[in-house]
Structure 1
Amino acid sequence: MLITFKSKAATEITMYKEHARRILELLHKDVERGIITPPELPQAIQKIEAAVAESKAHPISEEVSRDVNAHHNENGDDNEHETPEPVSFATRAFPVLEMLHAANKMQREVMWGV
């Protein structure tokens, strides 16, 4: 399932709901539909930036790397394909964070699911 973030301050952003969920849960927002109002934007930006910094401070654990590579090595079933590279939270959050900054600058809301 996809979610599209919209704001008059930036281009629409579409992402998988499962990836948007972490961002929206940080903001205590409903994943299905919602709005971040101009007065909420500074705090939303601060929360997401803090989570990005935290994710960069703690790179992917050995256990997660082992799970990702489980079927992508000489002993796995799927060794003819390239090894998948995990996408960091910082990378996934970047477009939404940029939208929030633009919306904050222009004092516009950010909406999704509408």
Structure 2
Amino acid sequence: MLITFKTRYSPEVLMYQEHAQRILDLLHKNPTRGVITATEAAEALSVLEDQVAESKLHPETDIEYDIHAHEREDGETVEHALAQRVGFAARAYPLVEMLRLAKQENQPIVWGV
């Protein structure tokens, strides 16, 4: 299932629910429907920036092979499959940028509406 994050003054951010789940868990938000209010944006941004920094310190434990995001194809080497993994920092980046703008413009971020 896709989650579409929306805020005024920013393009929509689309994420698969299984990829957005970690972010939403950190923010204590429901993946089905929710809002990050303008008041919550600063705290949410801080939480995600801390997690991004932590994931960069320990990339070997952060990145796990995600069968939903990349299925190994016939004849593909393990090395190539492992190189296709996407870490938390890269997955979170679009939403972090959206949070920065939402905080700056004092706007909420919504999804599932």
- Contact in 2 for aligned 1:9/1:99 (Cα 8 Å): no
Q: Which has the larger radius of gyration?
A: 1
Q: Give the alignment partner of residue 81 of structure 1, picking from 69, 76, 82.
A: 76
CA RMSD after TM alignment: 1.9
Describe how 1:55-70 pairs up with structure 2 within 5 A: 55-61=55-61, 64=64
Give the corresponding residue for 1:113.
112
* % identical equivalent positions: 47
State the distance in 1 between where 2:103 and 2:59 align. 29
More strand by share: 1
Moved over 2 A (4+): none
What TM-score do you get using the length of structure 2 for normalisation? Answer: 0.83
Give the corresponding residue for 1:12.
12
Describe how 1:29-48 pairs up with structure 2 within 5 A: 29-48=29-48
SS of residue paired to 1:87: coil
Over residues 5-25 of structure 1, what are the superposed CA-to-partner deviations in whole Å (9 max), with x where a residue is unaligned? Answer: 000031001110000111111
- Contact in 2 for aligned 1:7/1:103 (Cα 8 Å): yes
State the distance in 1 between where 2:10 and 2:24 align. 18
